[in-house]
Amino acid sequence: MDLSALIETHGYWMLALGCLLEGETLLVLAGFAAHEGHLNPWAVFGIATVMAMVGDQIYFWLGRWRGPQLLARYPKLHAKAERVQALLERWHAPLIIGLRFAYGLRIAGPLFIGASPLPAWRFIVYNGVGAVIWAAVVGGIGWSFGAAAQALLGELQRYQMALMGALVGLALLVWVWRHRGRGH
């Protein structure tokens, strides 16, 4: 089975699983694969958006259910939770949307917010907005990388014979230079 077939067969469920967790790397790769025609770009966007929302809802409700016990068990998290709580009181919408882009807080952030008194409906709404933006931006980076790679490789393909000739010529020059004094 070649790489294209593996991506087409397993790409969507791998993306879904990855987006339940941190998921950025898989989403960039899925965006690249969509640009190359191995995955449907709208399916990649939809799966990434929905699964990122679902994952964060799971962590939010886990925080709502067991947040105080988790924070009591891990004192380092408790200090971070207090900081997040202070920011949440003043900037709840940008914080909820922005946590999705904060490395290392993608899982802990919704747990902290779930342990806070923030109404669940607010988290659901802003989490959804953040998931849409995240899927578009991160998937778009993968798509753009695919476009840039295609443009670069397309240009190189036009000059393939000239580049190959130059490489052969360079290799020949290196060989001659290394062996020039050995004939005597």
DSSP codes joined into one string, the chain? --HHHHHHHHHHHHHHHHHHS--HHHHHHHHHHHHTTSS-HHHHHHHHHHHHHHHHHHHHHHHHHHHHHHHHH-HHHHHHHHHHHHHHHHHHHHHHHHHTTSTT-TTHHHHHHHTSS--HHHHHHHHHHHHHHHHHHHHHHHHHHHHHHHHHHHHHHHTHHHHHHHHHHHHHHHHHHHHTTTT-
Per the domain annotation, does 97 fall within a domain? yes
Per the domain annotation, does 183 fall within a domain? no
Average pLDDT, the chain: 81
58-78 mean pLDDT: 84
Per the domain annotation, does 172 fall within a domain? no
Q: Is the pTM of this model over 0.85?
A: no
Per the domain annotation, does 7 fall within a domain? yes
Identify the band that residue 123 occupies on the pLDDT scale cut at 50, 70 and 90. Answer: very high
Identify the band that residue 130 occupies on the pLDDT scale cut at 50, 70 and 90. Answer: very high
Per the domain annotation, does 133 fall within a domain? yes
Residue 177 predicted with pLDDT over 70: yes
Residue 143 predicted with pLDDT over 70: yes
Q: What's the structural domain count of the chain? A: 1
User: 129: domain range?
Assistant: 3-143
Per the domain annotation, does 180 fall within a domain? no
168-176 mean pLDDT: 74
Identify the band that residue 98 occupies on the pLDDT scale cut at 50, 70 and 90. Answer: confident
Per the domain annotation, does 48 fall within a domain? yes
Per the domain annotation, does 171 fall within a domain? no
